[in-house]
Structure 1
Amino acid sequence: MAAYSDLTNDVLEHITNFLAFPDHYRFGAVCKNWRSVSKRRRYPPVPQLPWLVLGEEKETRKRKFYSLSDAKHYSIEIPELHGRYICGSSHGWLFAVDIKINGTLVNPFTRECYELPPFPSFSTKTDVTTLVEKVLSDYKGGPRNFTFEEMRTLIVFKAILSHDPKERSDFTAMIMFGKFRTPAFWRSGDLCWTVVDGPEVSMHDIVYFKGNFYVLSPGNELYVVDFESKPKLIEVGPQVDIEGIPAQRYLIDFNGNLLLIERFCECVEEKVEELLNVTVEFNVMEPNLEENILYEWHHLDDFAVFLGRNSSIYVNSYHFPKCKRNGIYFTHTTDSHSAEKFGCHDLGVFHMTNKTISKFYSDEVFPPLVGSPVWFTPNPWSF
C-alpha cells in the first residue's frame, strides 16, 4: 500500500472536496505538500453546517466558535476580530464593531477586511456618541453613564449583504440600527451610509431575496426597499391578525421561497434574581404577495433553518447525519446584559414534527459574551 504522502495532487484535491471545514484545516496541517494542495482547490467544497461565532478568550484573545458538525468548540487566532462585537454574518463574512463604534466587514479565515463608514445618526448634528446614548436611554428607561462596551451592542441590531464581495464587487450592505432598527445601506465605494425612509416602528428583520431587500415590521407588514433618488420602504406584503406577541420575527430565503417565521418566548425565573426569556415555539408562514395572504407551513421536509442575527441559512439534512431534519435552530436573543451575566442559555432546535425543543450542544449554557451568538457559514473562498 502506497504511503499517504505519495498520493498525487489530483487525488488529494479530490479528497478535499469532501471534507468538513475543521477537517480541511487538519488536512492542511499534515505536511507542506498537503497544505499546498488545500490552498489551491479548483472545485467548490461540499455543503457545510453553520458554525456559531461566540466571544473571545480573555487570556489569549482567540475567537471562539462552536461547530455543529463535530459538536466541538474551537479557539482560533483572528487579530481582525480582537475586542470586536459581532452584529451580523452574511456570505461567509462577519460584521464587527470595535470599542470606538467603528464597523468592519471581515472574512475571518481569509482575514480580508472592508472598513465601513461611521454608522448613521438620527440627524446630521448628532455624533455617534450622542446617538448611542439616546438609543440606550430609550432602551433602558432613562439617561445614565454607559461604557462604549455597552453602547456598541445596541447601535446595529442586524447586518447582511446582498452578495459575497469576492464574487461581486457591486455588493450592498444593509443594517438595521437605532431605536427603530431603521434600515440603512452602504454600497462598496460609498463614503457614508444612506438611511431608508420608513415608518417609525421597531423593525424585526431584513432579508435579501430575488434581487430585493425586504423588511418586516412588528405587525407582519412586509416592505421592499426602494433605491430611487430618496430611498424608502414600500409596503408590498400582507398584514394579518396575530395570536399572541412573538418575541422576534424572521425573514428567510428558503429554497427560493420567502418565509416569515415567528418566535414565541416565555419568561421563567431561574435560580438568579431575574426573569429570563426562554423560547417555546415557532410558527412558519409564507407571504403570498399577489393574493396578500399568509400560508402556514407545518413542516420543512428534510431541511433545517438557522435563525439569528445572520443572513438566512438553510441546509438539507440529508447531507448532515447530525443535523435535525424539519428543525429550526435558534440562538440566544436576550439583551446583552443578560448574556454577559448569565451566559447564553436560550439556544436550541425546535422540532416542527412534534413541536418540542431540544439542545444541539452538550454544555448547560454557553459562556458569557458580549451580544448574541451568530450563525456563520464559511464561504468557498475560506477554504
Structure 2
Amino acid sequence: MAQPPNSKRRSLPLLDWRSGLPEDLLECIGQRLASGHDTASFRSACSPWRVAVPFATFGLLLLLPFDPDSDRVGFYCVSEKKGLSKTLPDVRGKVACGSSCGWLALMDEASSVMLLNPFAGARAPHVELPPAGEHVAAASSSERVSRVNGRWVLHPTNGYGDADTAGRAIKLEDMRDVFFREIVLLVPPDAAGRECVAMAMLGCSTEVAFCRVGVDSAWTLLDTKLEFSVGSIVHYQDKFLAIDCTGEISVYSSNAAGATPTATLLPSLSPPAGLCHHSYLESNGGLHIVGAMVSTFHETQSFTYSNAIYNCNLHDRTPEWSRVRDIGDQTLFVSKHFNESLSGTSVSKYKENKIYMSEPLYGDPYDLVYRLEIVHIATGASKVKPIQEKMLGSEALSWIRPNLWKL
C-alpha cells in the first residue's frame, strides 16, 4: 500500500528549536525584553536562554543625582552592591523632571523637554516632547513669567501686587518649580502600536498638563476638579490618577482614541488617618499607598514612626483603604524624590514582602552617604542601609527599571 505523501515528514524527529538558536540571536532577543516579567519568562525556557540573558542586568537600579555640567549619570545596583555610571551626552545642561517606564524626562533652561532611554544601546535614543509654553508657566506659578531674548524671566510682585518689569532669569535648578515638577508616562514611546501619552504635574497647581508624544505640538492643560494643588500623578490600570496634597483623587480616562482625557473625582476616598509622607503605586491591580505612622512625644520633643502600606480597589462601589500585611512574593520599590514607584516579583537578592525606599523618610539631607530604608511589611519595622558616598545635600532621584527596547 502506498504511503501518504507526507508520512515521511511526520516520521522525522522534532527539533528542539529553543537550544538551536545562535547565541548572538538569543542575546539580540534578550535586549528587546521590556520588563522583568518578560525576562523571567524568557529565561525559564531552557538553559541556553537563561545564559544568554543574565537577569541581574534587568534588576531595578537607583538613579542618582547628576551634575548638569557633566555627561555622566550614576546608578546603584542594590543586588550587586555596587555603583555604575553611563556617559549620556544628552543630559548635559538639563535637569531631570521625571523617571517613568525606564525613560528619563529632561528639561533645559529654554523649557525644551525630551525623553531619554539610558539603557537602549551605546547611543541612548531620545524622543522630543512639546516645550513648556507661557500657558504652562501661568498655571504652574503664581508669579508672572515671560520670555525675554530666549530666556525665561520671572517677574515677582511686590507688596502692592505690582510685578517687577525687569524680573530675574530663571535658572536651571528652578525650572521644575516654574514649569514641570514631574512628567509621568502611561506607555513608553517604544511600545509598538500603542500611542505614548504623558501627563505632567506642575510646580503648584490644581491643573495638570497632557500630551500625546509625537502627535501634539503643545501641552494641553486639564482641570483635575481637585480643591488643592496636585502632589502626585500615578499610572493605574491604563489610566492616570491626579492626587492632591490631601489625598483626594481624580481619575483620568478617555472614551475614544485620540480624545482628551476627562477627570472623574473620587471625593470620598481620603488617606488613612495619621499616615504621613504618602507615596502611591499600582501593584497586582490595586492602588497602594505607602507612608509612615508618626508618634510624637512632647515631653522629650522627639518622635518615632513605623511604616505602613494600605491598598484599595478603585472599582469598588465605595473604595476604601485597608491595611496590608502580606504581599506574597512581591517587592515594592518606593521613590522619595520622584513619585514613580514600582513593584515586581522578588528576584536577584531582593527580599520578598519588603519595601525598598530610595531614601529614609526622615533621613538627613546633608548626610554624606546615600542610604536605603528597607521596610518589613508584616511588622512595619525598618532598617537603614548605607550604600555609597553622595554629593552633598542631594537625594537619590528614583528607582528605574531598565527598558532595553530600541526605537
Q: How high is the TM-score relative to the length of structure 1?
A: 0.72
Aligned twin of 2:310: 284
Range moving further from structure 2, 52-61 or 88-97:
52-61
Question: Would the aligned equivalents of 1:310 and 1:376 in 2 still touch at CA under 8 Å?
Answer: no
Question: Would the aligned equivalents of 2:340 and 2:398 in 1 still touch at CA under 8 Å?
Answer: no
Aligned twin of 1:329: 356
Aligned twin of 2:161: none
Aligned twin of 2:104: 94
Identify the match of residue 345 of structure 2 among 316, 325, 340.
316
Aligned twin of 1:178: 203
Aligned twin of 1:157: 181
Task: Give unpaired runs (5+ residues) of structure 1.
Answer: 1-6, 22-40, 135-143, 268-276
Aligned twin of 1:10: 22
Q: Deviations over 1:208-237 (max 9, x none)?
A: 222211122233322112558775532136
Residues 1:261 and 2:290 aligned together = yes
- Determine helix, strand or coil for the equivalent of 1:196: strand
Aligned twin of 1:194: 220
- In the aligned structure 2, how far is the partner of 1:310 from the partner of 1:88? 8
Aligned twin of 1:63: 73
- In the aligned structure 2, how far is the partner of 1:200 from the partner of 1:132? 26
Aligned twin of 1:298: 325
Question: Would the aligned equivalents of 1:54 and 1:369 in 2 still touch at CA under 8 Å?
Answer: no
- Determine helix, strand or coil for the equivalent of 1:186: strand
Identify the match of residue 127 of structure 1 among 120, 123, 146.
146
Aligned twin of 1:76: 86
- In the aligned structure 2, how far is the partner of 1:50 from the partner of 1:207? 19
Q: Amino acid of the residue matched to residue 111 of structure 2?
A: I
- In the aligned structure 2, how far is the partner of 1:133 from the partner of 1:205? 27
Are residues 366 and 285 of structure 1, via their aligned partners in 2, closer, same or farther at CA, if it must alter by over 3 Å? farther
**Structure label with greater radius of gyration:** 2
Q: Deviations over 1:226-255 (max 9, x none)?
A: 5587755321364247422512x2321202
How far did 1:301 drift?
Answer: 1.7
Q: Deviations over 1:352-375 (max 9, x none)?
A: 123222235433x53337665111
Are residues 11 and 106 of structure 1, via their aligned partners in 2, closer, same or farther at CA, if it must alter by over 3 Å? closer
Question: Would the aligned equivalents of 2:360 and 2:384 in 1 still touch at CA under 8 Å?
Answer: no
- In the aligned structure 2, how far is the partner of 1:116 from the partner of 1:203? 21
Question: Would the aligned equivalents of 2:290 and 2:307 in 1 still touch at CA under 8 Å?
Answer: no
- Determine helix, strand or coil for the equivalent of 2:210: strand
Q: Amino acid of the residue matched to residue 281 of structure 2?
A: I
Task: Give unpaired runs (5+ residues) of structure 2.
Answer: 1-18, 34-49, 158-166, 297-302
- Determine helix, strand or coil for the equivalent of 1:204: strand
Are residues 278 and 9 of structure 1, via their aligned partners in 2, closer, same or farther at CA, if it must alter by over 3 Å? farther
Are residues 59 and 123 of structure 1, via their aligned partners in 2, closer, same or farther at CA, if it must alter by over 3 Å? closer
- In the aligned structure 2, how far is the partner of 1:123 from the partner of 1:328? 35
Are residues 292 and 286 of structure 1, via their aligned partners in 2, closer, same or farther at CA, if it must alter by over 3 Å? closer
Are residues 13 and 291 of structure 1, via their aligned partners in 2, closer, same or farther at CA, if it must alter by over 3 Å? same
Are residues 359 and 77 of structure 1, via their aligned partners in 2, closer, same or farther at CA, if it must alter by over 3 Å? same
Are residues 333 and 131 of structure 1, via their aligned partners in 2, closer, same or farther at CA, if it must alter by over 3 Å? farther
Are residues 68 and 220 of structure 1, via their aligned partners in 2, closer, same or farther at CA, if it must alter by over 3 Å? same
- In the aligned structure 2, how far is the partner of 1:84 from the partner of 1:50? 23
- In the aligned structure 2, how far is the partner of 1:255 from the partner of 1:132? 47
Q: Amino acid of the residue matched to residue 96 of structure 2?
A: I
Aligned twin of 1:352: 377
How far did 1:328 drift?
Answer: 1.3
Quote the sequence identity (%). Answer: 21
Aligned twin of 2:11: none
Q: Deviations over 1:314-354 (max 9, x none)?
A: 1111x32x21211112224989xx85x55575632211123
- In the aligned structure 2, how far is the partner of 1:371 from the partner of 1:99? 22
How far did 1:192 drift?
Answer: 0.9
Q: Amino acid of the residue matched to residue 260 of structure 1?
A: I
- In the aligned structure 2, how far is the partner of 1:146 from the partner of 1:371? 26
- In the aligned structure 1, how far is the partner of 2:304 from the partner of 2:205? 24
- In the aligned structure 2, how far is the partner of 1:78 from the partner of 1:220? 37
- Determine helix, strand or coil for the equivalent of 2:321: strand
Q: Amino acid of the residue matched to residue 201 of structure 2?
A: M
Identify the match of residue 50 of structure 1 among 56, 60, 69.
60
How far did 1:108 drift?
Answer: 1.3
Aligned twin of 1:114: 127
Question: Would the aligned equivalents of 1:85 and 1:97 in 2 still touch at CA under 8 Å?
Answer: yes
Are residues 190 and 369 of structure 1, via their aligned partners in 2, closer, same or farther at CA, if it must alter by over 3 Å? farther
How far did 1:121 drift?
Answer: 2.1
How far did 1:50 drift?
Answer: 1.0
Are residues 163 and 372 of structure 1, via their aligned partners in 2, closer, same or farther at CA, if it must alter by over 3 Å? same
